[in-house]
Amino acid sequence: MSDKKIKAVLFDLGDTLLNFGQVNTTRLFRQGAISSYDFLKNSGQPVGGFNYYYWRNLIALRIWHWLSNITGRDFDTLALLRKSGTKRGVKLNPEQWRHLAWLWYEPLSQVGQTEPKTKETLAALKNLGLKLGIVSNTFVNGCSLDEHLKQLGILDFFTVRVYSYEFDFRKPNTQIFKVAAKRIGETLENILYVGDRIDKDIKPAVKTGMQAVLKAAYTNAGKKVPEGAWKINRLCELPGLIEKINVGTSH
């Protein structure tokens, strides 16, 4: 039996576990602006005119996104919404703030869907005795991401969910993989990481000592699979691949 028997599987989120593809971010942002604005206005909050609300939030998001690219760390949209809104006199309880964050994210959640039989695949992995988790670069607060996963019926499969905005680092920084390994309670070499990005998922996962699988997506089309990694076209191939790895079959 190989010393590198897989005992846990960690997944990237976007275009790995959830398929978003190439989206029209401008259209989705506007939809989120409309629904969040209506919620605030109907709640009697001081939001002003819609155009001002739209552009203020769009410019703020672009600035924070630009800063995150410079610093290499993600921001928390829920914290920013609360801070910005409170300054302008918006008064909401914690549940309402979380709902506001969801209204911004909801249009994107309607785009991001799982492959057919994803639930069955995750159940099969659990039946193999594997622990499952998520490691994702994101500025979307976990309350919104967890709600999305819950609506898709797969949240309960993941005992560990590591979102980059919680830390001062993000993928490809290997620290985030080490944090996830510690949380899931397995050594790095006994963890399989599944992602769609060669630069931010596969190479750093291998570098940190994990085994890795590249899932086919538009983000890696035509690119060579890094040495030491496997490739799958669909998540449903994972249970069979893991069984082969765990009985010592070479790839």
Q: What is the mean pLDDT of residues 18-35?
A: 93
The rounded mean pLDDT for the chain is: 94
> Which residue carries 């914290």 as its tokens?
79
**Is the residue at 149 inside a domain?**
yes
Q: Which residue type occupies 152?
A: L
Q: Are residues 198 and 228 in the same domain?
A: yes
**Is the residue at 221 inside a domain?**
yes
Q: What is the mean pLDDT of residues 139-154?
A: 96
**Is the residue at 240 inside a domain?**
yes
Sequence-separated contacts (24+) of 62-68 with Cβ below 8 Å: 64/139, 65/139, 68/139
Q: Are residues 96 and 172 in the same domain?
A: no
**Is the residue at 251 inside a domain?**
no
Q: The domain containing residue 161 runs over which residues? A: 8-20+115-246
Q: Are residues 104 and 123 in the same domain?
A: no
Q: Give the model's pLDDT for residue 210.
A: 95
pLDDT digits (tens, 9 = 90+) for 4-23: 899 999 999 999 999 998 88
Q: Give the model's pLDDT for residue 33.
A: 97
The number of distinct structural domains making up the chain is: 2
249 has pLDDT over 80: no
Q: Give the model's pLDDT for residue 68.
A: 93
Q: Are residues 99 and 191 in the same domain?
A: no
pLDDT band, residue 145 (cuts 50/70/90): very high
**Is the residue at 208 inside a domain?**
yes
Domain boundary among 64, 87, 111: 111
pLDDT band, residue 251 (cuts 50/70/90): very low
Tokens representing residue 20 in the block: 């978003």
**Is the residue at 1 inside a domain?**
no
Q: Are residues 219 and 101 in the same domain?
A: no
164 has pLDDT over 70: yes
193 has pLDDT over 70: yes
Q: Give the model's pLDDT for residue 23.
A: 83
Domain boundary among 111, 130, 164: 111
Domain boundary among 111, 138, 173: 111
**Is the residue at 3 inside a domain?**
no
248 has pLDDT over 80: no
pLDDT digits (tens, 9 = 90+) for 34-90: 999 999 999 999 999 999 999 999 999 999 999 999 999 999 999 999 999 999 999
Q: Are residues 152 and 208 in the same domain?
A: yes
Q: Are residues 41 and 59 in the same domain?
A: yes
Q: Are residues 214 and 104 in the same domain?
A: no
Q: What is the mean pLDDT of residues 160-165?
A: 96
For the chain, give the percent of residues with pLDDT over 90.
88
Q: Are residues 219 and 152 in the same domain?
A: yes
Q: Are residues 57 and 151 in the same domain?
A: no
Q: Domain containing 173 — which CATH number?
A: 3.40.50.1000
Q: Are residues 81 and 163 in the same domain?
A: no
pTM over 0.85? The answer is yes
Q: Are residues 242 and 129 in the same domain?
A: yes
